[in-house]
Amino acid sequence: MTSFKATSFKALVLTEQDRKVSSSIETLDTDRLPEGEVLVRVSHSTLNYKDGMVLNGLGRLVRSYPHVPGVDFAGVVEHSSSPQWRAGDPVVLTGWRVGEQHWGGYAQYARVKADWLVRLPDGMTAERAMAIGTAGFTSMLAVMALERHGLAPGAGEVLVTGAAGGVGSVAVALLARLGHRVIASTGRPETHEYLAGLGAAGFIDRAELAQPVTKPLQAERWAGAVDSVGSTTLATLLTQLRYRASVAACGLAGGNDLPGTVIPFLLRGVNLLGIDSVLAPLPERQTAWSRLARELDPALIDGMIERIPLASLPDYANRILKGQVRGRVVVDVN
Ligand code: NDP
């Protein structure tokens, strides 16, 4: 147990009444925080699609209220009873059901397990880490999975769907930086300039990919793909992957179904790679974060940021569920 002297702090707290979830900003005491070896003084958090669901009480992601949401946070270790961490260490946390089953980052303090934290790579600020957040970390995992399955620069066009969203934006920037020709699929033409700035070389309207699959195979086009949409979009792009190419399936912004056929697997040997960021093992996390620090241009990350205070979260939660958020929302918890 910690010998840290209790301190009061600000948090966004969700409560449930008559099956309706509402939020308020409250002052809590660090004694109220859940068990864990490490107390972190949080400086920044972020808003992911999943946070939007939690803030609206959707998907039964939270089982017990009152609850502090926020699936990602970055800050500095305040106190640790584990030898893995010392006061002053800069850390980042994504996943592990923090913000869902465990209190999360929409607060000035969080207490978590020592094994859940990753040291912030040298040169990366807490704000940039949160601009990356679970969304960007997931994009890196997706790129790493595509590389493990043979994707190399020069192979051809790489498709990113949901391109103007969080996962998509970072995927576009990463793939372009790694030397790929990136085609961005978006339903928002007004984001073309933004996406071109991140490195997109061409665009495809998301409606084109979202059509029901009528032919089990279409002309081979994509050398690889990062998909955050699912449903007919993923089913269609499977029919357009080149021989033995892969798609990394990250999300379900367009639906959780997959209405296609197995023909692309059988006749083209394509690969459908599942990406899970929540329980990704520590060595992969460390590799992903150090690559994000190395391979993402800090100026591009800064250009994706929209900064908001805790109080704006309910409004932004609704916007992210409607697909109206561009790039990455960073929450300054102070
Ligand atoms: P965002 O809301 O930021 O981005 C999603 C994007 O998908 C939107 O910006 C939009 O892009 C597109 N989109 C939205 N609605 C639709 C629709 N009905 N049909 C087609 N496209 C649509 O969310 P994130 O980037 O944070 O997350 C994206 C997905 O990835 C979510 O489903 C999320 O749950 C999942 N995810 C999964 C993780 C994992 O570990 N596997 C981790 C993190 C996220 P545009 O406007 O450009 O068309």
Q: What is the dihedral of CA 175, 73, 3, 64, to 10 degrees?
A: -120
CA distances (Å), origin 216, targets 185, 221, 307: 21, 14, 44
CA of 48 to the centre of ligand 1 (A): 9
Q: Looking at beta carbons, which pairs linking 253-258 to residues 24 or more positions away fall under 8 Å?
A: 253/49, 253/162, 253/165, 253/228, 253/229, 253/323, 254/162, 254/210, 254/229, 254/230, 255/229, 255/230, 255/231, 256/230, 256/231, 257/230, 257/231, 258/230, 258/231, 258/234
Residues 6+ apart with CB under 8 A from 306: 325, 326, 327, 328, 329, 330
Is residue 7 pLDDT above 80, yes or no? yes
Query: What's the pLDDT score for residue 2?
Result: 45
Average pLDDT value over all residues in the chain? 96
Residue 1 has pLDDT above 70, yes or no: no
Band (pLDDT 50/70/90 cuts) for residue 6 is confident
Distance of alpha carbon 21 from alpha carbon 314, whole angstroms: 11
Decide whether any atom of ligand 1 lies within 6 Å of the 139 Cβ: no
Q: Is the pLDDT of residue 53 over 60?
A: yes
Task: Tell whether ligand 1 has an atom less than 6 A from the beta carbon of residue 231.
Answer: no
Please determine, for residue 4, whether its predicted confidence score (pLDDT) is greater than 80. Answer: no
The CA R_g of the chain, rounded to the nearest whole Å, is 20
Q: What is the CA 4 to chain-centroid distance, rounded?
A: 32
Number of residues that make up the chain: 334
Q: Which of 127, 126, 130, 190 is nearest to 163 (CA)?
A: 190
Q: Across residues 43-65, what is the average pLDDT?
A: 95
Model ipTM value = 0.99
pLDDT for 184 beyond 60: yes
d(CA 10, ligand 1 centre) in Å: 29
- What's at 274, amino acid-wise? G
Identify the DSSP state of 98. B
Confidence bin at 327 (pLDDT 50/70/90): confident
Q: Is the pLDDT of residue 11 over 60?
A: yes
Q: Is the minimum distance from the CB of 134 to ligand 1 under 6 angstroms?
A: yes
For the segment 102-157, what is each residue's pLDDT rounded down to a tens digit?
Answer: 999 999 999 999 999 999 999 899 999 999 999 999 999 999 999 999 999 999 99
Q: Which atom of ligand 1 is nearest to the CA of 53?
A: 34
Nearest to 105 by CA among 288, 281, 97: 97
The predicted model gives 21-35 an average pLDDT of 96
| CA 251–ligand 1 middle distance (angstroms) | 6
Q: Could you tell me what percent of the chain has a pLDDT over 90?
A: 94
Q: Residue of the nearest CA to atom 30 in ligand 1?
A: 251
User: Can you give the pTM of this predicted structure?
Assistant: 0.94
Q: Do 64 and 14 meet the contact criterion of CB atoms below 8 Å apart?
A: no
The CA 249 to ligand 1 mean position distance, Å, reads 11
Ligand 1 neighbourhood includes 97 CB (under 6 angstroms): no
Q: What does the DSSP 8-state code read for residue 67?
A: B
Ligand 1 midpoint to CA 162 (Å): 6
Instruction: Give pLDDT, residue 195.
Output: 96
Average pLDDT of 46-68?
A: 95
Mean pLDDT of 17-35: 95
For ligand 1, whether the C-beta of 62 sits within 6 Å is: no
Instruction: Give the least confident one: 86-90, 111-115, 164-168.
Output: 164-168
Domains parsed from the chain with CATH numbers: 8-120+299-332 (3.90.180.10), 135-274 (3.40.50.720)
Share of the chain above pLDDT 70, in %: 99
Report the pLDDT value the prediction gives residue 21, as an integer from 0 to 100. 95
Q: 167 CA to middle of ligand 1, Å? A: 7
Rounded CA-CA distance 114/81 in Å is: 9
Q: What is the pLDDT of residues 190-199, one digit of tens each?
A: 999 999 999 9
Q: Is the CB of 280 under 6 A from ligand 1?
A: no
pLDDT, tens only, 236-284: 999 999 999 999 999 999 999 999 999 999 999 999 999 999 999 999 9
- Residue 202's pLDDT is 98
**Long-range Cβ contact pairs of 302-307 (< 8 A, separation 24 or more):** 302/128, 302/131, 303/194, 303/197, 303/198, 303/327, 304/131, 304/169, 304/170, 304/173, 304/198, 304/328, 305/127, 305/131, 305/329, 305/330, 306/330, 307/331, 307/332
- Beta carbon of 94 within 6 Å of any ligand 1 atom: no
Q: What are the b/e assignments for 17-54, b being 16+ CB within 10 Å? A: eeeebebeeeebebebbeebbbbbbbbbbbbbbbbbbb
Residue 239 in contact with ligand 1 by CB distance below 6 A:
no
Which pLDDT belongs to residue 3?
Answer: 57
Q: Say yes or no: CB of residue 165 within 6 Å of ligand 1.
A: yes
Q: Mean pLDDT over residues 40-66, rounded?
A: 95
